[in-house]
Amino acid sequence: MVLEKTNLQIIDDFLSTKKSEQTKKVYRVELQKFANFVNKSFDEVTNWDIIDFNKVLMANSKSDATRQRIYSTIRSLYTWLVKMHVISAEQNPTNGTIEKLTPHVDLENKFLTVKEVEAFKEKAKPNARNYAMVAVLATTGLRISEALGINWNDIVYLETPEGSGWFASVTRKGGKKQNIFLPDGTYEALMRLRRNIPINPKDDSPVFTSLFAGQHKRITATGARKTLEQIAKAAGIEKEFTPHWFRHTFVSQCIAAGANPRDVQWQAGHSSFRTTERYLHAMSKGVGKFFPVKF
């Protein structure tokens, strides 16, 4: 089969199905690097190309977590190509290959301890933006792309049957809007950040901006990850940290505190309860014995 479009055109079509701008940016970078490496039409890519690409990622010292994310992006592209009948299922080079290359990391090993969260908090505190970013990730369970997508006018005060408080209107994975509760300390961290911005931001400007690209330009997921990894190193966290660990830690804290698993599923934005059940399984092994750190 000869594809009628170039790889870059296919990437554009694939990304048009994604609603999150942050997701589009990350996917585009990863897929373009993959396209440049294989240097052939996507329908001509073989299992061996995937294996060779893995060797390059490992040679470039990409962490297991980073490689997992990149593989997930490539798998999503090929799943879409099959779904759109652009290629056949038999042509999908990710079948079986990526599963073998992707290291299995036990859920138990992807948490931060209370001491580590406290250390993270203290190292981030001198910088208002970094402190607020850590506070949001640690106390809401948001994915990093969801947290970075928040604008100032998304932070609202709401009256609910359970009580009133400050919430962030967040665009979840799949484009669904959801109001996420902000603990008092997290809200105060956000307000501290706003007070520290030299030029008063517009209501529709992003909360988390690049310190090097102007006050109102949203920081990229890659930039945020690098910043958080640097803070983790400064905090003495020797594990192979990724920002997603805040999400795992948050969910485990909720379950450890006795929260209704269905409520945890809603808060975390898990599309399937089976995902939440993974944390219940981990709890039976003594994982998640943490408490929420106050900001």
Per-residue model confidence as pLDDT tens digits over 80-100: 999 999 999 888 988 877 656
Q: CATH classification of 7-104 is 1.10.150.130, yes or no?
A: yes
**What pLDDT digit, counting tens, does each position of 31-50 carry?**
999 999 999 999 999 988 98
pLDDT in tens, 206-219: 999 987 555 578 89
pLDDT at position 286, please?
34
pLDDT of residue 258: 65
- φ, ψ dihedrals at 110, nearest 5°: -120, 35
Buried b (16+ CB within 10 A) or exposed e, 92-125: bbbeebbeebbeeeeeeebbbeeebbebbbebbe
Residues in CB range of 133: below 8 A, 6 or more apart: 124, 147, 208, 224, 227, 228
Round the CA-based radius of gyration of the chain to a whole number and report it: 20
- Strand order, beta sheet including 155-160: 155-160, 163-171, 177-181
CA-based nearest residue to 247, from 171, 167, 136, 169: 136
DSSP H stretches of helix in the chain: 7-15, 21-38, 47-59, 64-83, 97-101, 114-124, 128-140, 144-148, 184-195, 221-234, 244-256, 261-268, 273-283
- pLDDT tier, 282 (very low <50, low <70, confident <90, very high otherwise): very low
How far is it, in rounded angstroms, from Cα 133 to Cα 193?
10
243, 224 contact by CB (below 8 A)? yes
Hey, where are the domains in the chain?
7-104, 108-283
On whether the CB atoms of residues 144 and 221 are closer than 8 A, the answer is yes
Comparison of pLDDT for 291 and 82, the residue scoring more: 82
Mean of all residue pLDDT scores within the chain = 80
Q: What span, in angstroms and rounded, lies between the C-alpha atoms of 38 and 32?
A: 10
- Give, rounded to a whole angstrom, the gap between the first and last alpha carbons of the chain: 56
pLDDT reading at 283 higher than 60: no
Phi-psi region of 242 (alpha: psi -120 to 50; beta: other; left: phi over 0): beta
- Give pTM, 2 decimals: 0.61
CATH class for the region spanning 108-283: mainly alpha
